[in-house]
Amino acid sequence: MTTGTGVALCLALALAAGGARAADPGANPWFRAGQEAVKKAAAGTPTAHAKNAILFVGDGMGIATVTAARILAGQRAGGTGEENLLSFETLPYTAFSKTYTVDFQVGESAGTITAMMTGAKTRSGVLGVDETVARGDFAAAATGSLPTLLERAEDAGKWTGVVTTTTITHATPGGCYAHTPERNWEGDAKESPAAREAGFPDIARQLVEFKHGDGLEVAFGGGRAFFLPTAVEGGTRLDGRDLTAEWQKRFPGGPYLSTRAQLLALDPAKSRHALGLFAPSHLEFESVRAEKAPDQPSLAEMTAAAVDILAKSPKGFVLMVEGGRIDHGHHAGNAYRALTETIEFADAIQLARAKTNPKDTLIVVTADHSHTLSISGYPKRGNPILGLVVGSNGEEAPSNEPAKDLSGRPYTTLQYANGPGYTGASDAQPEGAKQFPHMPTKVEGVTKGRPQLTEAEAAAPGYLQESSVPLPAETHGGEDVPIYAGGPGAALFHGVQEQNYVFHAIARALGLETP
């Protein structure tokens, strides 16, 4: 073993053992600024103590996504849509979150969830570590790691959980319990050879080996492949370990679940710990789940089961729930799936609100970042949000004919600034369709000029909204995202705040941070 590898191994082992040489959050300028911002916000505002807290993260759920999903849900219910409200929009307090990371003007999920979970902004692509840790530098991860909200909660005797529609090791859920310089190290086969040789713990390992309190009580999502060895069908682990078996050994009586039927049959009265991995990778999109993957639970079902288990905690609980595939629908340039995922996300929040007491449970709903979706044109009131603009091409009285662009072609209300739906005049052929083979597309790659769209084509579930710039996948957006809050401590959420403020407000409400 070389000297460099030996040092890396020592640091990796230190991290696996709980990060004994972790960074001091109080010395981090972002952390200190967050503390000061909460103190300022709390001045003159009584902060009631919360026993429990649920952080809902709609991955990629920007303002345009909320508005469009609100309209779509209302139209699906038989209304015009605009007057509708999603369940979380009735929460009494709102704020805005600035989502940039220390190295990118437009952030991504790893750096942004780290801000919300640790109270300090950091680089894009890293989880649970401060900005001194360069992406991929596993040797620096132990000394740069920061305690997460869930770790603090476990240390205080609270129960904790993570629920997602992505892999449970994906950026947002991973940021709740893992400390790594690379968000893509979900399993050991995805680590760099040097990190794997040094024994650096991949994200799946860090979930099962979580050292704080008595470990995570609940973890529901996808990503089964990262927990099983290659000797097991569908497994990808190179170290030969079966982490699902290790979970069950660590928590006797704590079930490992792999199907929706098993989840629905779970008796929360008999379970304190539960691990549910319901797909090899991400769970199926909600819009096709019942047809393509009926053995997978919905986000609402996973959330309900998690709350039922965690609500038994005598000292309270902290739960993070992610609507993770909102983001995936947007990256594919497919608003239908993104908005359907948002509606399911709202349904999960409604269930959680019904199952908890607003007098002791703080509920915070936000996004990690936005996307480039826009709502434009002058469609008339009640016009199908997924359809063509029918109403006006300017500001004149609405008609019943589709509006036309300067070339005489109709266009849709929803569009993206970039992505695989580009239809401009060009001979280039991006690989957009190949990036998302599960997405049936009406417009594949670049064509020579905008199409003569029909209403039926625009409203089809697989239609890719047009984009201005051709890219293999649509990108994130950099504008502020909303925060909605209710329950004890919710009054702290007002104004425009840095994203790491979310951590400080929740921690203060729970009594997990010194005022």
Q: What confidence score (pLDDT) does residue 449 get?
A: 77
Domain 3-17+58-372+479-510 has CATH 3.40.710.10: no
Q: What confidence score (pLDDT) does residue 447 get?
A: 58
Q: How far is residue 78 CA from its own chain's centroid? A: 29
Q: What confidence score (pLDDT) does residue 223 get?
A: 98
Residue 106 backbone dihedrals phi, psi, to 5 degrees: -110, 120
Pairwise CA distance, residues 181 & 204, whole Å: 14
Residue for token digits 């359907």? 340
Residue for token digits 């909204």? 465
Would you list the domain boundaries of the chain? Answer: 3-17+58-372+479-510, 387-474
Residues 113 and 324 sit within 8 Å (Cβ to Cβ): no
Residues 428 and 470 sit within 8 Å (Cβ to Cβ): yes
Pairwise CA distance, residues 128 & 110, whole Å: 9
Question: pTM of the predicted model, to two decimals?
Answer: 0.91
State both tokens at 97: 């979150």
Which helix (DSSP H) or strand (DSSP E) does residue 289 occupy?
helix 286-292
> Which one is catalytic: 97, 109, 145, 313?
109
Q: Would you mind telling me the total number of residues written for the chain in this entry?
A: 515
Sign of the CA dihedral 325, 331, 332, 334? positive
Residues 390 and 400 sit within 8 Å (Cβ to Cβ): yes
Q: What confidence score (pLDDT) does residue 424 get?
A: 77
Residue 318 backbone dihedrals phi, psi, to 5 degrees: -130, 125
Closest CA to 299 of 122, 56, 72: 56
Residue 97 catalytic?
no
Q: What confidence score (pLDDT) does residue 228 get?
A: 98
Residues 132 and 140 sit within 8 Å (Cβ to Cβ): yes
Pairwise CA distance, residues 8 & 5, whole Å: 5
Q: What confidence score (pLDDT) does residue 514 get?
A: 57
Pairwise CA distance, residues 279 & 258, whole Å: 7
Q: What confidence score (pLDDT) does residue 289 get?
A: 98
Q: How far is residue 492 CA from its own chain's centroid? A: 22
Burial class (CB in 10 A: 0-12, 13-18, 19+), 240: exposed
Q: How far is residue 291 CA from its own chain's centroid? A: 24
DSSP symbol at 485: E
Q: What confidence score (pLDDT) does residue 36 get?
A: 86
Which stretches of 139-187 are DSSP H helices?
141-144, 149-155, 171-174
At 285 the three-state DSSP class reads: coil
Residue for token digits 């993957």? 293
Pairwise CA distance, residues 169 & 237, whole Å: 14
Please list the rounded mean pLDDT of every run of 10 residues in the chain (515 residues).
Answer: 42 45 82 86 77 98 98 98 98 98 98 98 98 97 96 98 98 98 98 98 98 97 98 97 97 95 96 97 98 98 98 98 98 98 98 98 98 97 98 87 92 97 63 44 56 94 96 97 97 96 97 72
